């Protein structure tokens, strides 16, 4: 079964509202999680690295005030798209680098979340 779960898998929101996407590691503690964005028929672009208990590290060009990342526990990271606009519509995927009973050098991906802003 999935070891990293994302929720919701699909969400539609109105322009100007905020939407939160959750990424959970189901049976291991994820000290680090990563958030990627994928436009249709394109590759995945890393948005930010989320470290438990500290601020996220954003890639160049990613607006940290627009894409809020919180990694408050070892099993949960959240991505909040604030004041969403249609151009934020995309497929967002998280991944987790495990510790504990999962090898630290194995990376697990969530199922992804489709965001549509109307």
Q: Does 27 bind another protein (CB under 8 A)?
A: no
Tell me the window of 16-24, 45-53, 67-75, 80-88 that interacts with another protein (CB under 8 A): 45-53
Length of the chain: 118
d(CA 111, CA 8): 10
Residue 32 or 78: the one with the smaller Cβ distance to another protein is 32
- Which residues in the 64-93 window bind another protein by CB under 8 A? 93
CA of residue 3 relative to chain centroid, distance: 15
With contact defined as beta carbons under 8 Å apart, do 59 and 47 qualify? yes
With contact defined as beta carbons under 8 Å apart, do 48 and 59 qualify? yes
d(CA 51, CA 13): 27
CB of 111 to another protein, least distance (A): 4
Out of 21, 23, 24, 34, point to the residue binding another protein (CB under 8 A).
Answer: 34
Q: Does 25 bind another protein (CB under 8 A)?
A: no
Q: Does 6 bind another protein (CB under 8 A)?
A: yes
Beta pairing, strands 90-98 & 107-109: antiparallel
Summarize as ranges the residues that interact with another protein (CB under 8 A).
6, 32, 34, 41-46, 49, 93, 95-97, 105, 107, 109-112
């Amino acid at each position: 079964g999935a070891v990293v779960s994302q929720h919701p898998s699909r969400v539609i929101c109105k322009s100007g509202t905020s939407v939160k996407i959750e990424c959970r590691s189901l049976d291991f503690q994820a000290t680090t999680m990563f958030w990627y964005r994928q436009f249709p028929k394109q590759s995945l672009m890393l948005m930010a690295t989320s470290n438990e208990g500290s601020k996220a590290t954003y890639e160049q060009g990613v607006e940290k005030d627009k894409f809020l990342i919180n990694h408050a526990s070892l099993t949960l990271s959240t991505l909040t798209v604030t004041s969403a606009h249609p151009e934020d519509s995309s497929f967002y995927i998280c991944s987790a680098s495990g510790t504990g009973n999962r090898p630290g050098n194995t990376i697990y991906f969530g199922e992804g979340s489709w965001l549509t802003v109307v």
